């Protein structure tokens, strides 16, 4: 399978490296890491075992890649206005597009650009960070759940999941992509939000009883909004407790939004916070804690 990784941050580098190691033809669109990776290859430091790819197909322009079987989108959502330019040269008649971006609205945006039949979405439960140029650190987890935006090519979805699995990626398919997206938000909203706001890793958030209580309350607000969205099955409130237990096992971990704030980058407020609030508002679901967290993040993001 010929794959183009559009967005070669920690997520794109890690999954792309595994796919290449697994025998697939992977092309990385690169920016800041381009020189380092072209000169020295790509190194993955992983809890599952380190490995090094001495030769990587890196590009600074999609035109040098050409048509592919699969485009994997890992860009931060605030860069979505560049997706038309980055993806169009990669499309052949059969090309599928899989977005692993956070938040809501990404599949809809891509469907408007390239047609609903091409679009798949997924969530990655991955703890990874970029290190020095040409290095990515995989700290924990790595599971991916993928689904179709419209149910039109189930075999393609199964083939992609099988290809990912054969490359050592824990990948499952889901019939209700919307539900999967909201389940990821149950984690993303409290931990990305509070970590970025307070400059605290997730373990330090959970060490304070009052903060742990707030995390769960934020999770419950997300679950209430999710269950108003005509999901195939309701998300039970106890899902919040399973996410707390999952996070307890992470140890010292900085979510991506905290790293973005530390490095002075834009924050993904629209897709992760404002879009879910709007979906909740449309169904008369009150989300006061998330409203407050969003307002505070917007305030610090303007500095």
Tokens describing residue 133: 């140029």
Tokens describing residue 259: 């790293």
Of 227, 223, 219, residue with least CA distance to 187: 219
Angstrom CA distances, 122 to 2, 41, 66, 195, 256, stand at 19, 28, 24, 23, 17
Catalytic one of 151, 184, 213, 254: 184
Return the SS3 of 101.
Answer: coil
Distance CA 202, CA 90 (A): 37
Q: Is 184 a catalytic residue?
A: yes
Q: Where are the alpha helices (DSSP H) in the chain?
A: 10-21, 34-40, 83-87, 106-114, 154-166, 177-198, 202-207, 209-226, 238-248, 256-262, 269, 275-282, 288-301
- Positions marked catalytic: 184
């Amino acid at each position: 399978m010929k794959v183009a990784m559009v967005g070669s941050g920690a997520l794109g580098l890690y999954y792309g490296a595994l796919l290449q190691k697994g025998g697939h033809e992977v092309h990385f669109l690169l920016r800041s890491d381009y020189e380092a990776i072209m000169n020295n290859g790509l190194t993955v430091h992983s809890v599952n075992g380190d490995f090094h790819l001495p030769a990587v197909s890196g590009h600074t322009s999609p035109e040098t890649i050409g048509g592919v079987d699969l485009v994997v989108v890992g860009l931060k959502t605030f860069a979505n206005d560049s997706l038309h330019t980055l993806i169009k040269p990669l499309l052949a008649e059969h090309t599928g597009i899989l977005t692993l971006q956070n938040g809501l609205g990404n599949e809809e945006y891509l469907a408007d650009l390239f047609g609903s039949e091409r679009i798949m979405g997924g969530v990655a439960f991955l703890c990874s960070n970029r290190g020095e140029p040409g290095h990515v650190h995989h700290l924990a987890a790595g599971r991916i759940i993928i689904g179709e935006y419209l149910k039109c090519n189930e075999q393609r979805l199964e083939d992609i999941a099988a290809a990912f699995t054969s490359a050592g990626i824990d990948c499952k398919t889901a019939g209700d992509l919307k539900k999967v997206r909201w389940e990821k938000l149950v984690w993303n909203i409290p931990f990305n939000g509070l970590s970025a706001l307070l400059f605290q890793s997730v373990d330090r958030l959970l060490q304070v009883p009052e903060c742990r209580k707030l995390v769960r309350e934020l999770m419950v607000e997300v679950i209430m909004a999710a269950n108003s969205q005509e999901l195939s099955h309701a998300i039970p409130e106890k899902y919040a407790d399973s996410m707390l237990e999952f996070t307890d096992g992470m140890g010292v971990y900085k979510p991506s939004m905290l790293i973005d704030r530390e490095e002075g980058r834009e924050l993904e407020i629209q897709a992760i916070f404002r879009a879910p609030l709007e979906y909740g508002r449309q169904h008369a679901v009150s989300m006061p804690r998330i409203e407050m967290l969003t307002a505070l993040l917007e305030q610090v993001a303007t500095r």
